[in-house]
Amino acid sequence: MTKPLLDVEDLRVRFHLRTGTVEAVRGVSFQLGRERLGIVGESGSGKSQTGRAILGLTPPPGEVTAKRLAFDGIDLQKASKRTLRTLRGGRISMVMQDPKYSLNPVMTIGEQIIEAYQAHVKAGKAEARDRALAMLEAVKMRDPGRVFSLYPHEVSGGMGQRAMIAMMLVTDPDLLIADEPTSALDVTVSMEVLRILDELVSERGMGLIFISHDLKLVSSFCDRVLVMYAGRVVEELEAKNLREAKHPYTQGLMRCLPTLADDVRPLPTLNRDPAWAL
């Protein structure tokens, strides 16, 4: 097996609160190659904190520990602030849930993409501009030139999220972490965004971590799925083998969704076994 792109072993995220210490992520381990990995879980399962911890974006007063947290052989825990800065946004990028909050409202979309590019690549103005326009085209903007000079509030949610993806991919990262990238979007728009994301990821041979609460979506989009519950990975499986999930939590998650295909009534609900959280 080739050297993994990302190697995470025993990742823990703790929050020291006044009411006591809360462990949001409790010993997560996985390796990621140039593939699409899905992390699925319900709210409070620690899936988002896992993604943030990899990028070093754990909000204070959070504390991250891990036996190993290495990106392409670089130890992220020991790396200097400088190294981390060049990695972040350069070789590792992150797409957040809502473009409304992750784009700067007082800069045009084009300026933001140029800024993201120039922060990591030494490039002249004209070159950066060409790059940004090419990137907007790559995310299937109908009129890249026009979108380039628009402000974030002037575009729809789907376009905003595509602009966000353009901004995150302009530096040609090796790893993209997408945290619920389409939850704020309508279904038809989100399918379009996913299709674009899928194309770019496979074209450029990136690694992708796709974090979502939607088991159906993740399993249809990713190669491999980690199912998280109460801060732990309860099951890891190939997306195509989802039907053969062993863990009762994964099975329950799959069954409790109403489907168009068959009419189950009442819907099976999850009986949470306290042992799952141990």
d(CA 237, CA 224): 6
Six token digits for residue 268: 């099976």
d(CA 159, CA 189): 9
Interface with other proteins, residue 156, by CB under 8 A: yes
For helices 125-138 and 157-169, the axis angle rounded to 10 degrees is 130
Interface with other proteins, residue 161, by CB under 8 A: no
CA distances from 105 to 83, 148, 155 (A): 28, 14, 11
115 or 223: CB nearest other proteins: 223
Minimum distance, C-beta of residue 80 to other proteins, in the bound complex (Å): 29
Instruction: Work out the number of other CB atoms within 10 angstroms of the CB of residue 172.
Output: 15
| Choices 71-79, 104-112, 115-123, 153-161; region in contact with other proteins by CB under 8 A | 153-161
3-state secondary structure of 210: strand
Site for other proteins in 6-25 (CB under 8 A): 18-24
Interface with other proteins, residue 265, by CB under 8 A: yes
Q: Can you tell me which of 60, 73, 205, 266 binds other proteins, judged by CB under 8 A?
A: 266
Q: What is the β-pairing status of strands 175-179 and 92-95?
A: parallel
Site for other proteins in 35-54 (CB under 8 A): 41-46
Q: Can you tell me which of 179, 181, 231, 233 binds other proteins, judged by CB under 8 A?
A: 231
Interface with other proteins, residue 221, by CB under 8 A: yes
Interface with other proteins, residue 188, by CB under 8 A: yes
Residues in the chain, overall count: 278
Interface with other proteins, residue 159, by CB under 8 A: yes
